[in-house]
């Protein structure tokens, strides 16, 4: 039992960590989804998929049932370039859904704006079609505006890692604790928006301080 404020923060942080069983579960589900897509579609030869979102940034909390695990499924451009058109945004997503409907006939699967959401009992997995380009950026479909949108989610992940390193590895636990508060408060702030706010607040910190002092309002 915690006897100081600092100990209470550390206990709270520990309670939000993803368990080993959950890590294994996410890994297996991801591999199986990518494998199913790869059996019907031509994926990138050296980089068929990449985790993105809060899981990649290590800011996902143990409440997996309330979270999305985002997987970028990278298409082989030469074999799928016909989808690199406005109408191809919808066609790519519909093809992904057809493949996953066949692979998971008892699982609820729906098409979202940028991804196919697979609602497993333990968590939701978003499979995002993507093309990869030599300069390191990616494009993903926007089925509403019918255009392929340029993105590089790994840049933000690198920034989170850098802040965490500068703050003696206290930043990522702090983000998780604020997300835990956000959950208890009924999600008044979107998870990614919250991470952006935390990034903007702490991006110039050169060291870690106590958790209570980190959460004091700025002057």
Q: How far is residue 64 from each of residues 73, 101, 161, 171, 175, measured CA to CA in Å? A: 21, 22, 22, 21, 16
pLDDT tens profile 131-157: 999 888 899 999 999 999 999 888 888
Cα 134 to its chain centre, rounded Å, is 23
At residue 1, the pLDDT reads 62
Q: Taking each helix axis as running N to C, give the angle between helix 5-15 and helix 171-184, from 0 to 180 degrees, rounded to the nearest 10.
A: 80
pLDDT at residue number 182: 86
Residue 19's CB is within 10 A of a number of other CB atoms, namely 10
What pLDDT sits at residue 2?
62
Q: Tell me, what's the pLDDT at 81?
A: 96
pLDDT tens figures, 108-134: 999 999 999 999 988 899 999 999 998
pLDDT of residue 12: 76
The 8 Å CB, 24+ separation contacts for 188-196 are 191/54, 192/53, 192/54, 195/54, 195/57, 195/59, 195/160
Position 58 scores a pLDDT of: 78
* Domains defined along the chain, listed by start: 5-15+155-214 (no CATH), 20-152 (3.30.460.90)
Residue with tokens 């998929």: 49
Low-confidence ranges of the chain (pLDDT < 50): none
Phi and psi at 140, nearest 5°, equal -130, 155
Q: What is the DSSP string of the chain?
A: ---SHHHHHHHHHHHTSPPHHHHHHHHHHHHHHHHHHHHHS-B-SS-SEEEEHHHHHT---S-GGG-EEEEEEEEPHHHHGGGSSTTHHHHHHHHHHHHHHHH-TTSEEEE-SSSEEEE-SS-EEEEEEEEE-TTS-EEEEETTTTEEEEE-HHHHHHHHHHHHHHTTT-HHHHHHHHHHHHHHTT--S-HHHHHHHHHHHHTT--S---HHHHTSPP-
């Amino acid at each position: 039992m915690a006897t100081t404020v600092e100990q209470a923060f550390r206990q709270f942080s520990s309670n939000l960590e993803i368990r080993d069983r959950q890590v294994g579960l996410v890994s297996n589900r991801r591999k199986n989804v990518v494998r199913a897509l790869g059996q019907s579609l031509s994926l990138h030869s050296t980089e068929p998929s990449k985790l993105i979102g809060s899981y990649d940034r290590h800011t996902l909390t143990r409440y997996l049932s309330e979270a999305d695990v985002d997987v970028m499924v990278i298409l082989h451009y030469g074999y799928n370039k016909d989808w690199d058109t406005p109408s191809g945004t919808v066609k790519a997503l519909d093809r992904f859904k057809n493949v996953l409907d066949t692979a998971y006939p008892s699982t609820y699967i729906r098409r979202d704006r940028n991804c196919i959401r697979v609602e497993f009992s333990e968590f939701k997995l978003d499979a995002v079609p993507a093309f990869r380009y030599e300069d390191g950026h990616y494009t993903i479909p926007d089925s509403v505006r019918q255009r392929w949108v340029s993105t590089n989610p790994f840049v933000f992940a690198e920034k989170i890692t850098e802040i965490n390193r500068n703050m003696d590895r206290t930043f990522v636990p702090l983000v998780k604790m604020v997300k835990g508060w956000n959950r208890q408060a009924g999600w008044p702030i979107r998870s990614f928006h919250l991470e952006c706010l935390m990034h903007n607040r702490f991006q110039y910190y050169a060291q870690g301080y106590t958790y209570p002092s980190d959460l004091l309002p700025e002057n």
